[in-house]
Amino acid sequence: MPVRTRESLQELVRNKLADYRFIVVSNREPYIHQWVGDQIRCVVPASGLTVALDPVMRACGGTWIAHGSGDADWQVADSQDKVSVPPEEPKYTLRRIWLTKEEEDGYYYGFANEAIWPLCHFCYTRPVFSESDWSVYSRVNEIFAQAVLEEVGNEKAFVFVQDYHLTLLPRLIKEGNPDIVVAQFWHIPWPNPEAIRICPWHEEILHGLLGNDLLGFQIRYYCNNFLDTIDWAIEARVDRERHKVSRGGKVTAVQPFPISIDFDQISHQAQQPEVDEEMDRLRRQFGLSRELIGIGIDRVDYTKGIPDRLRAIDRFFEKSPDYRGQLVFVQVGVPSRIRIGAYKSVHAEIEALVDEINWKYASGHWRPIIYLRRHYPPLTMMALHRMAHF
């Protein structure tokens, strides 16, 4: 049955998973509680994961297990580390995992984002393979597994694991309870076997992922790369016709699932009067009237190509001087992983390019680039998108 609406998703869950607990597991939580002055504010993080899965959880209910990263997360969670979300109209339960700074540093900033992330993105940033980071990464995956097993108890459950932070989790869940149905979606690319082989712990990662009953990637190319990697790296039977891997009596299906968004909901939200009011406010704030407006909204990450985009804007004004004073490019750069050296470097490069291009072409009050280095709430993001001509 095609899943095109919230109602069809609910019907699918009722028909296929009626007797199962539905549990999502990810590193990033969909709602963060933070202190703003002496008030606690609930913030939706800048995350494609949240945009994609929060509507699913709202429609289906269940429990989302994630790392509690907000400085006020403790204050709003109950004795079982849980909070109902969204705050304005609760639809599901968020269970938070608490990590020490050492665990967050080794697991998230270390192995996940200095080893796996660059390794999988076909980029020229060299992965960092640290034995201590790997040890912490493994321990944190065990912490998540314990939380999942506690949450499931003796019930039937479908557990949907997210991304590269939790590569060992599927195997750990199956070892604790073989009856749990486990699926995982890998949100980033999967490279060829020659790239994966440089990771000292590639076999452990592959064994972890083969704990899944279903492993999803964005496109078929990544699925094929994964099957090639299994074929090369470990003893397993790869069925390329059915896109399945068999190992030790366990079968893992490997399929592409291009991720989507709830278009109807976003389109409806974008047409609300408060979005028009926010557009007017932003135009006043930035001194915009009749200019053509371009928009870029990204996490600041070396895989996003923001410096190259800015150089393209520079080249455009150089080759098309008639647009000077007539066009403004607004780049939102959401700070990300700034404790990692490669991310600090790209932050500095972006800011230097913005200063250089603005100095080169500025005239009167007009500046070609407006750079906004911060996170904005969904209302402002909607307004920025609607303001854009490109």
pLDDT in tens, 16-30: 777 899 999 999 999
CB-CB neighbours of 134 under 10 Å: 20
Cβ-proximal residues to 48 (8 Å cutoff; 6+ apart), any chain: 187, 259
The percentage of the chain sitting over the pLDDT mark of 70, rounded to a whole number, equals: 97
Crossing angle of helices 378-387 and 273-286, rounded to 10°: 70
In sequence order, the β-bridge partners of residue 96 are 66
Phi, psi of 326 (to 5 degrees): -110, -10
Running DSSP on this structure, what letter comes out for residue 126? Answer: P
Query: CB atoms < 10 A from the CB of 104, how many?
Result: 17
Does residue 67 surpass a pLDDT of 80? yes
CA distance 354 to 356: 5
- Topology classification of domain 271-387: Rossmann fold (3.40.50)
**Is 30:94 a contact under the CB 8 Å cutoff?**
yes
Residue range 6-256 forms a domain whose CATH class is alpha beta
What sections of 253-340 are H helices per DSSP?
Answer: 263-270, 273-286, 306-319
Q: So what's the pLDDT on residue 10?
A: 64
Sign of the four-CA dihedral 159, 164, 169, 174: positive
Model confidence at 1: pLDDT above 60: no
Measured torsion, CA atoms of residues 298, 300, 303, 304, in degrees rounded to the nearest 10:
30
- Write the DSSP symbol of residue 364: T
Is 344 a residue whose pLDDT tops 60?
yes
CB-based contacts of 135, cutoff 8 Å, min separation 6: 106
Angle in degrees, CA 204, 206, 207, rounded to 5: 65
Residue owning tokens 């040890």: 135
Place of tokens 């459950």: 157
Parts of the chain belonging to CATH 3.40.50.2000 = 6-256, 271-387
Tell me, what's the pLDDT at 3? 53
Task: Evaluate if residue 14 carries a pLDDT over 90.
Answer: no
Mean pLDDT (the chain, rounded)? 94
Report percent pLDDT > 90 for the chain.
Answer: 84
pLDDT of residue 23: 97
Instruction: State residue 373's pLDDT score.
Output: 94
CA 236 – CA 194 distance, rounded (Å): 18
**Of 132, 157, 144, 42, the residue nearest 88 (C-alpha):** 42
